[in-house]
A and B are shown apart, each in its own frame.
Chain A
Amino acid sequence: MKKVYALIAAAGLVLGASVASANDTVEGSAAGAGISDSVTVKASVEKYAAIIGLIQTVTTDASGKASSSIGGEAEFSVESNCDVNITITGTDLNNGSDNLDTTWTLDTTTAEGVALPQTYDPSGAVDHTATFGATLGAISAQAAGEYSANLTVTVAAL
């Protein structure tokens, strides 16, 4: 029974302390500099990013000659309020029936599927370039015409 009373008393003390601290009172002489009291205000900003202006800018057309190259570039910018990883994934160039094994590279050196870190830059967005390219096979291995591929850019907070 004594333990129960002790627990109740302890709980009362804790409750009393919390109530006492809920409203802070300052008092004293109002003469001269007076007295002051304050309240601290806090806010938080979640991690956020934007991919801006993803657009294909350059395309190198293949002549149709065997083993010639075809490719191009896509440019975009990433703005964030934190450090992020940027990853690109792309599909092969395809005309609906013929497929060209396509290589994608981010900012010249980072391979498709590999994360490129971008540190927080208070000055704004940072530009990036995704490069794609493929090599034709035999002349008849791929039909003449338009080929297309899809590029996906992923930005994730570190």
Chain B
Amino acid sequence: MCNLATLYKTLGNKFLLCGLVFICSLPVALFADEPSTQDEQQIKVQAMNEPYASIQAAPGTDVYIGPFTGESNQVLPPDSVFPEVAIFTVETNVDLNLTYKIDVLHNGGMGKLETQFAIKQSNVDPSSFGSSYLNDNGKFLLDVPCLFDAGTITAMQGQLAKEHKAYSVYYRLSTGATISSQPAGEYTGGVSLTVSANLANYP
């Protein structure tokens, strides 16, 4: 009984307050802003689709090249058939600046391997990475003059892509002029792709 009385007391006050607010607002709702004749109103709505992109890097695991025997001036691969190290598949709704950063492979100390790379663009379905242009050995024939020294280069994806664009990265590694130029052991580097909107054609 005490509980029922307390509940009635609490809710009763709130019902009374709501009723007063409703009665006071009725005239406003009934008579305000009522058009005397037929009227038409338009409103322009706007929405912004922000620049957006996705990158799918394949493979998701570390890529291994070699091993080097330790000889000086050893080049891997030994000819112009380069291993495809990575494929970046880019999907976007805007023009893009593409920045590739390729690290020189190093051993954490003073040892390093001379690192060069090349990039090839291909439109492939992401479900069939590489199969459309690689040979039976999974390698791609590339001209040596296409190679860049390790570092950073920037390119542009020139138009709004209605499809996925794939960028393949190829490596060419070599040891130095002497055996002792590079100590034996593991060397690590990497390639990263950064994409950012190129808004020159978008007000």
Are A and B associated in one complex?
yes
A26–B190 CA distance with the chains assembled, in angstroms: 17
A131–B185 CA distance with the chains assembled, in angstroms: 34
A30 touches B197 (CB 8 A): yes
Is A122 an interface position by the 8 A CB rule? yes
B56 touches A43 (CB 8 A): no
Among A94-139, those with CB < 8 Å from B are: 120-125
Query: Contacting A38 at CB < 8 Å: which of B51, B70, B183, B190?
Result: B190
Among B30-79, those with CB < 8 Å from A are: 50-71, 76
Q: A30-B196, A48-B71 are in contact. Are A42 and B64 (CB under 8 A)?
A: yes
Is A145 an interface position by the 8 A CB rule? no
B184 touches A81 (CB 8 A): yes
Interface hub of A28, A41, A81 (most chain B Cβ within 10 A): A41
Among B74-97, those with CB < 8 Å from A are: 76, 85-86, 88, 92-94, 96-97
B171 touches A82 (CB 8 A): no
Q: Could you tell me the distance in whole angstroms from the C-beta of B75 to the nearest C-beta in chain A? A: 12
Binary per-residue interface labels of chain A (1-41) against chain B in the complex, 1 for a CB within 8 Å, 0 otherwise: 00000000000000000000111111111111111111111
Q: A31-B196, A37-B193, A81-B182 are in contact. Are A45 and B187 (CB under 8 A)?
A: yes
Q: A43-B76, A50-B179 are in contact. Are A24 and B56 (CB under 8 A)?
A: yes
A40 touches B179 (CB 8 A): no
A44 touches B59 (CB 8 A): no
A80 touches B179 (CB 8 A): yes
Q: Could you tell me the distance in whole angstroms from the C-beta of B151 to the nearest C-beta in chain A? A: 15
A33–B186 CA distance with the chains assembled, in angstroms: 32
Residues of B within 8 A of A146 (CB): none
A-B contact count (CB 8 A): 192
A72–B110 CA distance with the chains assembled, in angstroms: 39
A80–B58 CA distance with the chains assembled, in angstroms: 36
Q: A23-B60, A24-B60 are in contact. Are A44 and B192 (CB under 8 A)?
A: no
Interface hub of A32, A35, A44, A45 (most chain B Cβ within 10 A): A45
Residues of B within 8 A of A33 (CB): 194, 196
Residues of B within 8 A of A124 (CB): 178, 180
A121 touches B180 (CB 8 A): yes
Q: A24-B57, A120-B180, A122-B110 are in contact. Are A42 and B67 (CB under 8 A)?
A: no
Residues of B within 8 A of A65 (CB): none
Residues of B within 8 A of A49 (CB): 70, 179
A32–B85 CA distance with the chains assembled, in angstroms: 28
Residues of A within 8 A of B147 (CB): none
A-B contacts, 15 of them at CB < 8 A, read A23-B57, A23-B58, A27-B53, A29-B52, A33-B194, A34-B96, A36-B55, A36-B192, A37-B57, A38-B193, A41-B65, A41-B190, A44-B66, A45-B185, A125-B180
